[in-house]
Amino acid sequence: MSVESEQRPTKPGDAAPVWLHRARWVWIAAVLVGFLRSFVQLADREALVTQLREEAPELRQDQIDAAASSGILFAVLLSALSLMVYLLLSRRMLEGRNWARIVLTVFGGFNAFSTAVTLLTVITVDRAVLVELTGIEVPTSNLVFSAVVMVLQVVAIAFMFHPGSNRYFREVRRAR
């Protein structure tokens, strides 16, 4: 066995710098915090049933229960799908695929921007006025979860564009 073959990575992504590995775990953490937010919201089934009853008073109780169960199942499946997409993209990023880094940056950047706008709006405008204008009351817990996800995504983006990460993507592109 030659020295050169011993230095090659055994799996794609093994040669990726520590910054990209950290970015991957931060992306996964952000998705899991988002999943936790959904779980906290959906755990209050009574509030969900009450909301459905207010929005559609013509429905029977069995229909409301079915709608609540379907909504919970859909949210769990959507969260699982989201986790799978981020796992796939972060794996491709570790392999040096710049397109995956760009897609993750767009997803995270858009979410961070919209979360920042929402937080600034909630901070600067009275909550009662917001409820009157939009008809939606945003719970404080939802804002906290959103802020944590936003910070995690910004950190992941910073890790992906660390000079060591940029050098890795250039080296991979040159090798192809």
Secondary structure of 4-44 as H, E, C letters: HHHHCCCCCCCCCCHHHHHHHHHHHHHHHHHHHHHHHHHHC
Q: Is residue 139 part of a domain?
A: yes
CA count, 13 A, side-chain hemisphere, 90:
24
Q: Which domain holds residue 140?
A: 16-175
Q: Is residue 49 part of a domain?
A: yes
Q: Is residue 47 part of a domain?
A: yes
What's 162's DSSP letter? S
Q: Is residue 2 part of a domain?
A: no
Write out pLDDT tens, residues 134-166. Answer: 777 778 888 899 999 999 999 999 999 999 999
Q: What is the count of structural domains for the chain?
A: 1
Q: Is residue 163 part of a domain?
A: yes
Q: What is the mean pLDDT of residues 10-22?
A: 76
Q: Is residue 9 part of a domain?
A: no
The pLDDT, as a whole number, for residue 42 is 78
Q: What is the mean pLDDT of residues 46-72?
A: 85
Write out pLDDT tens, residues 85-97. Answer: 999 999 999 999 9
Residue 101 has pLDDT above 80, yes or no: yes
Q: Is residue 8 part of a domain?
A: no
Q: Is residue 108 part of a domain?
A: yes
Helix intervals (H) in 44-162: 45-55, 61-94, 98-124, 127-134, 140-160
CA count, 13 A, side-chain hemisphere, 18:
0
